[in-house]
Structure 1
Amino acid sequence: MDNDVGDPVIVTGFHASRTHKLTPGQKDANRVLAVGRAPVEHGFAHLKNWRPLTKLRTDPARATRLLRALLVLTNLEVNR
């Protein structure tokens, strides 16, 4: 895998249609992608439900620091 920051790559899944069924390898690739995507999607869902962020009216840099602090506290609580 090439980790070139100047040439980013977007990984997407395979799509089936009525006339084009997915091969077992494509199904496996979609499954691996879904496993990696699920924690990120759950994280965004939790962020949307955090009460301090619902009416946040501040500088984006300050919001980023607040978000990082909330994530640290959440991870501490989850790992406890």
Structure 2
Amino acid sequence: MTNTKERTEDTCPLVYQCRLPLSTRTVNHLADLLRRRLKAIRSRWRIPPPGKITVIVLAVLRHDQRMADMAGGNDASESTVRRWRDELIGLLSAQAPHRQGRPAKLLRAGPTVGAETALPTR
């Protein structure tokens, strides 16, 4: 008897499902940011819709999912999921309020940033 056929259980990919406690407002907000970005850069299309991209990125960020796992389960490459993550983080950080001059001062200060807020020693 020869073993020419592999068992189908060994070749089936494992799918990990988790519950993401997200509001629809959060998902819609991020998907709208992505839609505006795609329109601004005149991107013709992406295979998954912005809402699905948003949920994949939030699963990576929220549950610390490996990008390779999320990519394999959603028919994308790991580098694509990384690019989506970086793109959404950039879109969110662009909305954050900025303090004038403060980030440059912190960069110049180096690793002793926390020392300037410490209480003086006697």
TM-score (norm. length: structure 2): 0.22
| Bigger relative CO (Cα 8 Å, ≥ 6 apart) | 2
TM-score (norm. length: structure 1): 0.32
